[in-house]
Structure formats: C-alpha cells, structure tokens
Structure 1
Amino acid sequence: MASTQYAMLAAAPGQWTQEDVLLASSPQVRGLDIDGAELRRLGQEYFSQPRACLRASPLPKSFGWGLHYDADGRITLHAVDSPEYAQLRNDASLTQLRAMRSSRAAS
C-alpha cells in the first residue's frame, strides 16, 4: 500500500487527490489496468463504507513524509527534512494535522 501511494505522489506531485490515492492503493485496484467506467464503479463501491484518510497511511505515520493538500485537495509529498516541509510547517495560515497514532494512549 505505501509503495503504491509513494509511487503515485512522488511521480506526479499535485496531480492526485486523497480519494485517487486511496482507491489506487486499495487491494481491489492496486496494480490493475482498469478502464474509467470500471474504476468509477469500484470507487463507488470502495467509498460506500467509511475509509481512513491518508493521515493513517504508513507514509506519514511510519516513514515521516509530510502531505500537503492544496485548495483543490491535490496532494504533494514532502520529506520531513526538506526546505519545502519547513516552509509549510512554519506557515501559520495552513491547517496543520499530525499523522494518526497506531493505537490509543493508555488512560
């Protein structure tokens, strides 16, 4: 899953939305050559149930990548130690969200 997500986001920064990436990395679609109508059908089926967002992806959780969403929901991938990441991190006008934890904290 993470390798598919990374390949998409690294090869075409700003081209894909969260829904595009989640569907392409799903077991039903990953690695298949599917036409547009069938892909739309699979997308409707896949998203008919609640799905975790990319904050739960291994990219930000395990590998430390930052995900930036533009106003249209298109995603760019940024290495945590990159100047671009630092610039985005220090931009107070952006909403900043952390990756989701793997488990709940003990109470």
Structure 2
Amino acid sequence: MKIHTTNYTNTLIAVADDCPASRGEIPPQKGDAKSVATLQFEMLSQKPYHYTSDDVLFQVFADRNDLTESERPAARQQFFSKGQPCFRASPLTKRYGWGVHSDENGRIALLGCETEEYEKLSSDESLQVVKAMKSSR
C-alpha cells in the first residue's frame, strides 16, 4: 500500500492572499467540541518544531474520532493510504493569520504573519515559500 505524506522540509507555508487576519489569531472555540483549527493550534503552540505535519494532521483526526492507542497504528496507515490536504488548506493558514515553517527535519512551527521571524523567513532565498490556498476562487 502506497503511503502519502503532507510533510515539507525547509519550507514556509505563507498565509493565504485572502486571509482576513492581519496577525496570528488564536482560533475561537465554539461549544464543547474543539475545532480542527483549535486542536492544530494547541499542538503547535505548545511544542514548536516537535511534530511533523503528518503527526499533527493524524493526531487531530484520531482525537476527533476517539481512536484508542491500540487502534492508532493501523488507522494512521489507512489515513495516509490516500492523499490528505496539507497545511496549505489548514484554517490556521487560510483564516487565522499563521504561517507554518518546516525545518530541515520536517518539524513544524507556527509563526504569526505580523512577526519579524515570519518576515525574515518569507524572504529567505534558501527556503521554499508556498502560499496557503485561498478561501475564495
């Protein structure tokens, strides 16, 4: 079975051109259930450069589907047996003003689009810079 990945290395996923946020915003929580954006934000803000994109996307899927620890290995293989949307399609990069930087090991961190670090990385010629997907056509 072919395994797909959403991981990037030495890449900055810049905020979408139509992102309404002018700075990195904490995604609001509505009701009891945490949104995808909230779960992603919590993981990445607490441990920058600890997780890969695949780690975060699968963990959010597993948490939202109440998978047990014993179910996770097989579920992860099944999850990545077909292509998954990467962080270019994340609400963090499309709506909430966060860039996602992937280091040389594929570990990721959030950067508010208003920060000096974001500006520095977005003009770094040694990095691949890709834009998040627009919300509108």
1:10-89 correspondence to structure 2 within 5 Å: 10-26=45-61, 29-30=62-63, 32=66, 34-35=68-69, 37-89=70-122
Counterpart amino acid of residue 19 in structure 1? D
Q: Structure 1 regions of 5+ residues with no counterpart? A: none
Task: Specify whether residues 44 and 33 from structure 1 end up closer, same or farther in structure 2 by C-alpha distance, changes over 3 A only.
Answer: closer
* TM-score, L = length of structure 2: 0.68
Counterpart amino acid of residue 98 in structure 1? K
Provide the C-alpha distance between the structure 2 equivalents of 1:78 and 1:34, rounded to a whole number of angstroms: 31
1:20-48 alpha-carbon deviations (Å, 9 max, x no partner): 0111111xx1264732x532211111111
Q: What is the aligned residue count?
A: 101
1:67-105 alpha-carbon deviations (Å, 9 max, x no partner): 0001111001100001111111121111000001235x3
Provide the C-alpha distance between the structure 1 equivalents of 2:43 and 2:67, rounded to a whole number of angstroms: 15
Counterpart amino acid of residue 129 in structure 2? Q
Is 1:9 the counterpart of 2:44 in the alignment? Answer: yes
- CA-based RMSD: 1.5
Q: Is the helix fraction higher in 1 or 2?
A: 1
Provide the C-alpha distance between the structure 2 equivalents of 1:84 and 1:52, rounded to a whole number of angstroms: 25
> Tell me, what secondary structure is at the counterpart of 1:76?
strand
Poorly superposed stretches of 4+, deviation over 4 Å: none
Q: Structure 2 regions of 5+ residues with no counterpart? A: 1-35
